[in-house]
Homo-oligomer: A and B are copies of this chain.
Amino acid sequence: MGEFDIIARYFAPLSLGEPGAFGLKNDAAILNNATGRQTVVTSDCLVAGVHFLDTDPPESVARKALGVNLSDLAAMGAQSRTYTLAAVWPNSIDESWIAAFADGLGSAQNDWGVTLIGGDTVATDGPLTLTITAFGEVEQGTALTRSGAQPGDDVYVSGTLGDAALGLLVSKGEFGEISKADADYLIDRYRRPQPRVTLGPELQGIATSAIDISDGLLADLGHIMYQSGTSAALQEPLIPLSSPARSLINGSHMLIDVILGGGDDYELLFTAPPSSKADIKNLSNSLSVAISPIGTIDRITGESPIQIVDIKGNPLTLPPSSGYQHL
Interface residues of A (CB under 8 A from B): 22, 25-33, 38-45, 47, 49-51, 72-73, 75-76, 78, 84-86, 88, 117-122, 124-127, 129, 131, 133, 135-136, 138, 143, 145-146, 211-212, 214, 223, 227
Please state if B118 and A43 are interface contacts (CB–CB under 8 Å). Answer: yes
| Shortest CB distance A186–B (Å) | 25
Please state if B43 and A120 are interface contacts (CB–CB under 8 Å). Answer: yes
Q: Which residues of B contact A49 (CB under 8 A)?
A: 124
Please state if A43 and B127 are interface contacts (CB–CB under 8 Å). Answer: no
Chain B residue nearest in CB terms to A28: B42
A131 partner, pick from B30, B40, B72, B131, beta carbons under 8 A: B131
A27-B76, A28-B75, A84-B133 given; 16 more Cβ-contact pairs under 8 Å: A22-B145, A28-B40, A28-B42, A28-B78, A29-B41, A30-B41, A44-B120, A45-B121, A49-B124, A51-B122, A86-B86, A124-B129, A125-B126, A125-B127, A126-B129, A129-B129
| Shortest CB distance A200–B (Å) | 11
Q: Which residues of B contact A88 (CB under 8 A)?
A: 45, 47, 88, 126, 129
Q: How far is it, in angstroms, between the C-alpha of A108 and the C-alpha of B138 when the chains are bound?
A: 31
Please state if A43 and B122 are interface contacts (CB–CB under 8 Å). Answer: no
Q: Which residues of B contact A143 (CB under 8 A)?
A: 30
A133 partner, pick from B32, B39, B43, B72, beta carbons under 8 A: B43
Q: Which residues of B contact A40 (CB under 8 A)?
A: 28-31
A72 partner, pick from B27, B33, B145, beta carbons under 8 A: B27
The 9 closest A-B CB pairs, nearest first, are A126-B126, A28-B42, A27-B72, A31-B39, A45-B86, A131-B131, A133-B133, A86-B131, A43-B84
Q: How far is it, in angstroms, between the C-alpha of A227 and the C-alpha of B27 when the chains are bound?
A: 13
Q: How far is it, in angstroms, between the C-alpha of A238 and the C-alpha of B45 when the chains are bound?
A: 44
Mind listing 27 A-B residue pairs with CB under 8 Å?
A: A25-B223, A26-B145, A27-B212, A28-B78, A29-B41, A30-B40, A30-B41, A31-B40, A31-B41, A33-B38, A41-B84, A41-B133, A41-B135, A43-B86, A43-B120, A45-B122, A45-B131, A47-B88, A47-B124, A49-B124, A84-B133, A86-B131, A86-B133, A88-B126, A126-B127, A126-B129, A133-B133
Query: Which residue, of A27, A49, A119, A121, has the highest number of chain B Cβ atoms within 10 A?
Result: A27
Q: Which residues of B contact A133 (CB under 8 A)?
A: 41, 43, 84, 86, 133
Q: How far is it, in angstroms, between the C-alpha of A177 and the C-alpha of B72 when the chains are bound?
A: 55
Q: Which residues of B contact A122 (CB under 8 A)?
A: 45, 47, 50-51
Q: How far is it, in angstroms, between the C-alpha of A25 and the C-alpha of B223 when the chains are bound?
A: 9
Q: How far is it, in angstroms, between the C-alpha of A120 and the C-alpha of B51 when the chains are bound?
A: 13
Chain B residue nearest in CB terms to A90: B126
Chain B residue nearest in CB terms to A73: B28
